[in-house]
Structure 1
Amino acid sequence: MLTALRRLAGTWIAKALFVLLILSFAVWGIGDMAKNLFAPIPPSPASPASR
């Protein structure tokens, strides 16, 4: 069974799916970072001492 998995992992279809998986996580992660980087900073709540 492991031999069959190793043989199938070497095919171009498996490699293409692996690259697609890596790219999707990379794009997802970069998108989240960019969204947080360019998001406006919300105002902090007023502390009770400043009233």
Structure 2
Amino acid sequence: MANTKKIEDKAERKKVKRASRKKAAPKAKRTTPRGSSKKKVKKLVRGQSKR
């Protein structure tokens, strides 16, 4: 992504960012599902705090 810190005008900054996004190589597909490394929470009795 282009460095847009120094561009004050919002519209100009947006234009530059969009152009650089188009030029960037597409990201690879995910190898693992999203959130797969999150700790899974077992279903407990209703009303009990789970986390």
TM-score calculated relative to the size of structure 1: 0.38
Structure with bigger helix share is: 1
Q: Which has the larger radius of gyration?
A: 1
| Superposition TM-score, scaled by structure 2 size | 0.38
Higher relative contact order (CA 8 A, sep 6+): 2
